[in-house]
Amino acid sequence: MLRMQIGRALQGKNSSTQTFLFALVPLLLLLLAAQLIGVARLYSANWDEAHHLYDGYLSLTRGDYRLNAEVPPLVKMTAALPLLHLHPVLPGSEGSAHTDNAFLGGRTFVFSNGGDRLLFPARMACMFFSLLTALVLYAFGRHVFGELAAVCALFLFVFDPNVLAHGALISTDMGSACFILATIYAFYRYREKPGWQWLLLAGLMSGFAMAAKFTGIFIAPMLVLIAVIEALRERSLPVFGKLMASCAGILLCAWGVIWAFYRFRYAPAPMGLEFSPPLAPYLASLPHPSDGTMLALVARFHLLPEAYLWGLANTKHTEWEYTAYFLGRVYRHGPWEYFPLAFLIKSTLPLLTLLLLALMAWRDAARRYSQALVFLLVPVCVYFAVITTSHFDIGARHMMPMYPFLYLIAGAAAAMLLRRGHGWAVLAAVLLVWQVVTVMRVAPAYMAYGNEAWGGPLAVRRYLSDSNVDWGQQLKTVKQYLDRNHITNCWFAYFPDGAVQPQDYGVECKRLPTPSALWWLSLPMEVPPKIDGTVLISESDLDGVESGDGALNPYDAFRTLHPVAILQDGVYVYRGSFAVPLASAWVDVHHADLLAHSGQPGEALRLARQAEALAPDSPRVQLELADVLAMQQQWQKASHHYQLAQQELAKQRPDLQGEELGSAIEAGLKAAAAHP
């Protein structure tokens, strides 16, 4: 009797109810589109969008994949499609390495062609992936669990803050989620009724997933594990052989799709143009030599396009180089707990509650829906296991491919509860309404969302940072705030400064240094030891995401101050007079280095000593002073400051600074010892 009740609940067999539910689907899709359009209009360009769009346009129009191969081309080229009829003007070469040129040229490309004139239609193109994900989620849920469960899953997905935060951006996360879900759905339909149509669709979708983001390659272990479990469930060796052959066919088709996106050409660009740096030395420089050896073997036999291999190598470099902010501390490499905690903070409480209730509700239905559970849970478990053991801990957005599967389970659980009895139905209805209220409360600052159990959006920075809160998307809101309050005397430490600049949106504040803006992109700035007026600091810089925490962070003192405003939950505003000695010393050190290498040792020494007076305990400052002294052959003094740099490095988070400064200090000490 209970099984029959569960079956009716999941299948929702009342025809009038099914008609009503089916009518809700286009309404929910329109609501999703409307919310995403609002985000696309409100958010300024973030860290990655300009260079993704620029690279996508060059890939589409010139077949040149060198500019920024850090992600595959599908999403970037899709974003660039609406630009073809706009005929944007291309910037000249920035004269730097291709990855630097992607950011510098990307900014010039977007903002010299009207900013939103390019960004908005590109974002609308990327919104397609969110809408397609919603449709596939609905189709998957309807086929497996019935109309009610499918609509509940779609409803929860449409009102998910993480989906709304990233669903219209020129970013690969939603594209990856879309095609991983579509691949598993097609494979599920093939498993039910084998035929070449579903097998071909699974192959195409898996190829799209791998051409959207490199995490698409996780489809391979997902499919294989599903095949193994299905064979074990049926205790059949022939089933295992057939499913493994199917997996091989899917992956072979995916391989062909990848080559198609690179025009079936191994070279990354026409006319023999190469990467900078070329692939071979780039592979040799990987932090783990075994990764380089494996990719070099693939390159030797041209098994994948060179740009795809270069991008895979780039993910290994960035995984090693990026720091992670976790529980108020910056780590050289994020701890394994990062994504489990991020999931608990960034997921809505209605979703988490429904997943817990699903454990109880599915106890009676697990046998009937055991096959569906395999196809829904294996992708989640494989993906979560891989990202948890990685060190690429810069944002919960990397969990996006898990959420459609989890919402299918949650939607099925909600459908069961709605049909189980009055009390359970009330609980399910409350959870569904709660999901809407959650979105309304956080709107439009969806990116900073954190659920109520952890204190809400403004409390997220206690635990997480970077694109969990602040991806630099607040410049339009900053501009409105400054204009509304008639503020002209202002300073701004802006997280993506250089990739996007506040001036691109009319924010004319004086620049405060960030590690990327100063050390990488070398943007012009002058910062005195004491500043006054209105000071704006991106949340990621306030937390020291790039610089390090505590004494390494030039804005650490602001963390104890009460801001006069918080814009889009990601830019903190202060008013008054503030000492910023480390920020000023950073600028002096950078200028000293430039002067020293341009034949102006006297002025370089003056600035280096000025920096030392401001921040004598900074190993970076002591190292620069020692280097300038060494260039002037003042070896005894240089040795002294190299030793001071080494001592301070040992005291101040050598795990964060050692890779960058440690070898330079040791080389300086050896050189000084050779010149007594």
- Domain end (from 579, 603, 637): 579
Instruction: Give the mean model confidence (pLDDT) for residues 65-72.
Output: 91
Q: CA geometry: angle at 592 spanning 587 and 593, to 5°?
A: 100
Bin 482: left if φ > 0, else alpha if -120 < ψ < 50, else beta.
Answer: alpha
Helices (H), 43-115: 49-62, 74-80, 98-111
Would residue 99 count as lying in a domain? no
- Domain end (from 579, 603, 629): 579
Contact 560, 335 (CB under 8 A): no
Residues 382, 243 share a domain: yes
Instruction: Look at residue 362 and tell me whether its pLDDT is greater than 80.
Output: no
Tokens 């050409």, located at residue: 265
5-9, 289-293, 455-459, 532-536: which range is least confident on average?
Answer: 5-9
158-162, 213-217, 362-366, 368-372: which range is least confident on average?
Answer: 362-366
Question: Residue 600: its pLDDT value, please?
Answer: 93
Contact 170, 126 (CB under 8 A): yes
Question: Residue 391: its pLDDT value, please?
Answer: 83
Question: For the domain that residue 625 is a member of, what is the CATH number?
Answer: 1.25.40.10
Amino acid at 339: F
Instruction: Look at residue 365 and tell me whether its pLDDT is greater than 90.
Output: no
Q: What's the pLDDT tens digit per position in 627-644?
A: 999 999 999 999 999 999
Q: Structure tokens of 657?
A: 């600074």
Would residue 376 count as lying in a domain? yes
| DSSP secondary structure code for residue 99 in this structure | H
Q: Write phi, then psi, for 242 (nearest 5 degrees).
A: -65, -45
Contact 547, 576 (CB under 8 A): no
Distance CA 438, CA 53 (A): 32
Distance CA 615, CA 90 (A): 43
Would residue 326 count as lying in a domain? yes
Question: Residue 218: its pLDDT value, please?
Answer: 96
Residues 297, 333 share a domain: yes
Instruction: Look at residue 363 and tell me whether its pLDDT is greater than 70.
Output: no
The residue segments making up the domain with residue 541 are 474-579
Would residue 350 count as lying in a domain? yes
Contact 457, 440 (CB under 8 A): no
Instruction: Look at residue 243 and tell me whether its pLDDT is greater than 50.
Output: yes
Question: Residue 334: its pLDDT value, please?
Answer: 83
Would residue 181 count as lying in a domain? yes
Q: What's the pLDDT tens digit per position in 595-625?
A: 999 999 999 999 999 999 999 999 999 999 9
Question: Residue 586: its pLDDT value, please?
Answer: 97
- Gap between the terminal Cα atoms of the chain: 92
Residues 487, 385 share a domain: no
Amino acid at 222: M
Question: Residue 172: its pLDDT value, please?
Answer: 96
Distance CA 56, CA 68 (A): 9
Residues 547, 591 share a domain: no
Residues 272, 351 share a domain: yes
Question: Residue 97: its pLDDT value, please?
Answer: 58
Question: Residue 6: its pLDDT value, please?
Answer: 42
Contact 571, 474 (CB under 8 A): yes
Would residue 73 count as lying in a domain? no
Contact 215, 172 (CB under 8 A): no
Bin 336: left if φ > 0, else alpha if -120 < ψ < 50, else beta.
Answer: alpha
Residues 416, 545 share a domain: no
Neighbours of 238 (CB within 10 A): 9
Instruction: Look at residue 15 and tell me whether its pLDDT is greater than 90.
Output: no
Domains in the chain: how many in total?
Answer: 3
Whose CA is closest to 493, among 542, 549, 561?
A: 542
Three-state DSSP class for residue 367: coil
Residues 420, 372 share a domain: yes
Sign of CA dihedral 395, 401, 404, 410: negative
Cis amide leading into 277 (omega within 30): yes
Q: What's the pLDDT tens digit per position in 415-458?
A: 999 988 899 999 999 999 999 999 999 999 999 999 999 999 99
Question: Residue 7: its pLDDT value, please?
Answer: 45
**pLDDT confidence tier of residue 2, bands split at 50, 70 and 90:** very low
Contact 346, 415 (CB under 8 A): no
Q: What are the distances in angstroms from CA 202 to CA 120, 184, 207, 348?
A: 31, 7, 8, 30
Q: Structure tokens of 589?
A: 């050190």
**pLDDT confidence tier of residue 96, bands split at 50, 70 and 90:** low
Question: Residue 93: its pLDDT value, please?
Answer: 65
Residues 488, 406 share a domain: no
Which distant-in-sequence residues (6+ apart) come within 8 Å of 207 by Cβ? 253, 254, 255, 256, 257, 258, 260
Contact 523, 566 (CB under 8 A): no
Would residue 388 count as lying in a domain? yes
Residues 276, 235 share a domain: yes
Residues 413, 533 share a domain: no
Radius of gyration of the chain (CA): 27
Instruction: Look at residue 288 and tell me whether its pLDDT is greater than 50.
Output: yes
Residues 607, 569 share a domain: no
Contact 381, 388 (CB under 8 A): no
Residue-wise over 417-434: b if at least 16 C-beta within 10 A, else e?
bbbbeeebeebbeebbeb
- Domain end (from 579, 611, 646): 579
Question: Residue 9: its pLDDT value, please?
Answer: 45
Q: What's the pLDDT tens digit per position in 313-345?
A: 999 988 888 899 999 999 988 899 999 999 999
Query: What pTM, to 2 d.p., does this model score?
Result: 0.94
Distance CA 19, CA 651 (A): 68
Residues 558, 598 share a domain: no
Three-state DSSP class for residue 204: helix
Would residue 293 count as lying in a domain? yes
Distance CA 395, CA 471 (A): 10
Residues across the chain: 676
Instruction: Give the mean model confidence (pLDDT) for residues 510-517.
Output: 96
Question: Residue 121: its pLDDT value, please?
Answer: 98
| DSSP secondary structure code for residue 666 in this structure | H
Q: What's the pLDDT tens digit per position in 197-232?
A: 999 999 999 999 999 999 999 999 999 999 999 999
Q: Structure tokens of 88?
A: 């944007």
